[in-house]
């Protein structure tokens, strides 16, 4: 029996839930279909938010020959066959799931045919393509980030789904519970709905029946969907405020909910925004803890994450680097970039090579003239910055 998530796969872009920045009146994907034109692209975002559904809808609406492959499970021969089919029948859309895992052999096969337009690639990935996908593939594709689905998006999708389940009895509170429980993963929501439908007496679904299938805590959400972000905010502010016990409490709430991705992202930000130059070794430590957590998975992932969060809370704090780069970016956004000094532009005989001088330093102007003497970095009083500030002050005095 085919799963509900597959039988309900959208045939049109208008059936997609969420992603209103890409789909809808005068939105890019809708307009491509309207103009009967498609280009190679990469769709990336969290699992279960519509990457495969959008690819299927595009293929269906454009009525083009297509093939769906997986970069991990399909071998080189499968890719060869797809290319031969394209040569035989003409232009083909090739949808590749987990494209960030595609090895060099498969890339080398595809590249010339993507370049010629014989193959129109739609790559699907949960990983940031700017970090994980080969630049040669990436440069030939438009990149579209899919946004996380809201609880309201999920409820709209679930209400459509229940129309295909005969004799189902479910109230709005139970639909919201499933939507909230699934954490933005619509595929997971559909699976929960389907299993509960077939396991509940007389197909009567309520929260107690859902809990028999999935008893994951949902306390971190609320009806306005703000609860999840409030926990993340409290998590960061507790670490920033050096309250180790509160930091561990909010980490525990996120762990019990199984929300590892949000934990990873927020910890990475905290390491550089709030701890920064006071303890610059924290960034690599956080990355190592994330890697260990990914390696062992839950429940053991709580050990490296709990350890590093404890150290983060107890660490000295500094936001000097965070403030400095923000101010620099704001200046650029305001049009204060200015011309690069001519002696910094290659080739220039006027550039002085600092390594040829004492302390590897020679005073010369690096800032554009309109920003001369502008200061972004303002030192903070902590042990590590005291050391680098001493060098900073010496250099400034020499200048």
Is residue 219 a part of any domain in this protein? Answer: no
Instruction: Quote the pLDDT of residue 125.
Output: 93
- Total of domains in the chain: 4
Q: Is 9 helix (H, G, I), strand (E, B) or coil?
A: coil
Query: What is the distance between the alpha carbons of residues 319 and 279, in angstroms, rounded to a whole number?
Result: 11
Q: For residue 116, give the CATH number of its domain.
A: 3.40.50.300
Is residue 261 a part of any domain in this protein? Answer: yes
The pLDDT of 79-104, averaged and rounded, is 92
Mean pLDDT, the chain, whole residue set: 89
Instruction: Quote the pLDDT of residue 359.
Output: 78
Range of the structural domain that residue 194 is part of: 151-213
The residue from 254, 287, 314 where one domain ends is 314
Do 135 and 19 share a structural domain? yes
Question: HSE (CB half, 13 Å, CA atoms) of 193?
Answer: 35
The residue from 213, 246, 262 where one domain ends is 213
Q: Which of 6-15, 268-277, 330-339, 388-397 has the lowest mean pLDDT?
A: 388-397
Do 363 and 388 share a structural domain? yes
Is residue 222 a part of any domain in this protein? Answer: no
The residue from 295, 314, 333 where one domain ends is 314
To the question of pTM greater than 0.85 for the whole model, the response is no
Do 240 and 140 share a structural domain? no
Model confidence pLDDT, tens digit, residues 163-206: 989 999 999 999 999 998 887 889 989 999 999 999 999 999 99
Is residue 238 a part of any domain in this protein? Answer: yes
Q: What percent of the chain has pLDDT over 90?
A: 62
CB atoms within 10 A of CB 389: 17
Do 108 and 13 share a structural domain? yes
Q: For residue 182, give the CATH number of its domain.
A: 1.10.8.60
Is residue 359 a part of any domain in this protein? Answer: yes
Do 161 and 100 share a structural domain? no
Is residue 67 a part of any domain in this protein? Answer: yes
Model confidence pLDDT, tens digit, residues 217-242: 554 444 344 567 788 999 999 999 99
Q: What is the CA angle 208-151-166, rounded to 5? A: 55
Is residue 221 a part of any domain in this protein? Answer: no
Q: For residue 302, give the CATH number of its domain.
A: 1.20.272.10
Do 240 and 166 share a structural domain? no
Query: Do 125 and 132 form a contact (C-beta atoms < 8 A)?
Result: yes
Model confidence pLDDT, tens digit, residues 289-338: 999 999 998 889 999 999 999 999 999 999 999 999 999 999 898 888 88
Instruction: Quote the pLDDT of residue 335.
Output: 87
Query: What is the distance between the alpha carbons of residues 329 and 145, in angstroms, rounded to a whole number?
Result: 23
Q: What is the CA angle 325-131-55, rounded to 5? A: 120
Model confidence pLDDT, tens digit, residues 41-77: 999 988 889 999 999 999 999 999 999 999 999 999 9
Do 386 and 305 share a structural domain? no
Sequence-distant (≥ 6) Cβ neighbours of residue 168 within 8 angstroms: 162, 197, 203, 205
Instruction: Quote the pLDDT of residue 361.
Output: 84
Do 199 and 286 share a structural domain? no
Do 164 and 137 share a structural domain? no
Is residue 96 a part of any domain in this protein? Answer: yes
């Amino acid at each position: 029996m085919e799963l509900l998530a597959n039988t309900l796969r959208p045939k049109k872009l208008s059936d997609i839930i969420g992603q209103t920045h890409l789909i809808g009146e005068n939105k890019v994907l809708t307009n491509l279909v309207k103009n009967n034109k498609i280009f190679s692209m990469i769709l990336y975002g969290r699992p279960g938010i519509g990457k495969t559904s959008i690819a299927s809808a595009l293929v269906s609406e454009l009525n083009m020959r297509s093939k769906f492959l997986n970069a991990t499970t399909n071998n080189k021969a499968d890719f060869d066959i797809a290319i031969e089919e394209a040569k035989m029948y003409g232009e083909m859309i090739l949808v590749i799931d987990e494209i960030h895992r595609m090895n060099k052999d498969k890339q080398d096969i595809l590249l010339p045919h993507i370049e010629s337009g014989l193959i129109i690639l739609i790559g699907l990935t949960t990983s940031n393509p700017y970090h994980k996908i080969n630049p040669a593939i990436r440069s030939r594709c438009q990149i579209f980030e899919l946004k996380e689905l809201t609880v309201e998006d999920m409820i709209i999708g679930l209400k459509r789904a229940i129309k295909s389940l005969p004799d189902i009895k479910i109230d709005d509170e139970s639909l919201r519970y499933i939507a909230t429980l699934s954490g933005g993963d619509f595929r997971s929501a559909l699976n929960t709905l389907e299993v509960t439908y077939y396991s509940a007496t007389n197909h009567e679904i309520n929260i107690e029946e859902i809990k028999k299938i999935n008893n994951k805590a949902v306390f971190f959400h609320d009806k306005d969907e703000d609860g999840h972000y409030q926990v993340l905010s409290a998590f960061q502010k507790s670490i920033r405020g050096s309250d180790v016990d509160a930091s561990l409490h909010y980490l525990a709430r996120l762990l019990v909910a199984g929300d590892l991705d949000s934990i990873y992202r927020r910890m990475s930000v905290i390491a550089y925004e709030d701890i920064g130059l006071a303890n610059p070794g924290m960034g690599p430590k956080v990355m190592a803890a994330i890697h260990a957590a990914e390696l062992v998975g839950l429940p053991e992932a709580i050990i490296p994450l709990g350890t590093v969060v404890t150290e983060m809370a107890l660490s000295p704090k500094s936001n000097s680097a965070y403030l400095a780069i923000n101010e620099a970016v704001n200046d650029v956004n305001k049009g204060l970039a200015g011309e690069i000094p001519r002696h910094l532009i290659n080739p220039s005989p006027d550039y002085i090579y600092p390594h040829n001088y004492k302390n590897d330093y020679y005073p010369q102007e690096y800032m554009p003239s309109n920003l001369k003497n502008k200061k972004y970095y303002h030192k903070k009083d902590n042990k590590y910055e005291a050391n680098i500030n001493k060098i900073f002050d010496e250099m400034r005095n020499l200048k």
